[in-house]
Amino acid sequence: MMEELSLHILDVCQNSINANASLIQIFIVENTEKNSLSIEIIDDGHGMNEETLSHVSDPFYTTRTTRKVGLGISLFKMSAEATNGTLKIESKEQIGTKIKATFELDHIDLAPLGDIEDTLVILALNDKFIDIFYSHQYNENRFEFDTRKIREILEDTPFTAHGVTQWMKEYIREGLNNIHKEETK
Ligand SMILES: Nc1ncnc2c1ncn2[C@@H]1O[C@H](COP(=O)(O)OP(=O)(O)OP(=O)(O)O)[C@@H](O)[C@H]1O
Ligand SMILES: [Mg+2]
């Protein structure tokens, strides 16, 4: 089973949206020297009680009422463990939730990152106006995308206005390409 990492990110952020977060922070760190990739997602939603937290990475545990399986987090954990990595969750009721997955960067079973620009634009367009902060570090280089800053730049123009999502996608793609360029030192 090989799922793009961006789909896991979307899935975890969907949980944050359901938990009524107002800000979702996504931190990606690629370190070639340490041979590691980490994906950390932090929200300020309603969090989980001890009971939910203790079961959350079991496949089939869910508090959903529409269907009886909850696979999002357990699949993410399986993807991490398939590369000798780990998945850790911290959560506090009324405070929020932190999920951190680590992967071995050169592992043959590491799924591709996938389409980050599409993922971020889908998240940015959420209809609850939840802000998204994305930070992606590749060794010494860093790219950031912050919907709070974009709201400031756009003033009263909504994210759904003509051309805005296209502009966001190009901005993200260019930023990610730049940090992955060979360091020219
Ligand atoms: N960020 C979060 N804040 C609060 N509760 C969460 C959060 N993430 C997960 N949970 C709780 O953990 C449960 C399991 O999450 P998981 O993503 O694995 O499955 P699901 O969301 O229930 O179903 P699926 O992801 O398959 O649609 C959720 O039902 C929810 O109760
Ligand atoms: Mg889920």
**DSSP label at residue 68:** S
d(CA 113, ligand 1 centre) in Å: 22
pLDDT in tens, 117-168: 999 999 999 999 999 999 999 999 999 999 999 999 999 999 999 999 999 9
Cα separation, 152 vs 99, in Å, equals 28
- Which domains does the chain possess? 5-180 (3.30.565)
- The pLDDT score that the predictor gives to residue 28 is 98
Burial of 83 (0-12, 13-18, 19+ CB in 10 A): buried
Would you mind telling me the total number of residues written for the chain in this entry?
A: 185
Asked whether the predicted pLDDT for residue 59 surpasses 80, the reply is no
d(CA 168, ligand 1 centre) in Å: 28
pLDDT in tens, 81-111: 999 999 999 999 999 999 999 999 999 999 9
- The pLDDT score that the predictor gives to residue 68 is 58
Query: Relative to the alpha carbon of 63, which ligand is closest?
Result: 1
Ligand 1 touching residue 11 (CB < 6 A): yes
Asked whether the predicted pLDDT for residue 2 surpasses 60, the reply is no
Ligand 1 touching residue 43 (CB < 6 A): yes
What residue's CA is closest to ligand 1, atom 23?
70
- The pLDDT score that the predictor gives to residue 185 is 52
Predicted TM-score (pTM) of the model is 0.94
Q: Which atom of ligand 1 is found nearest the CA of 89?
A: 8
How many whole angstroms from its chain centre is CA 129?
A: 17
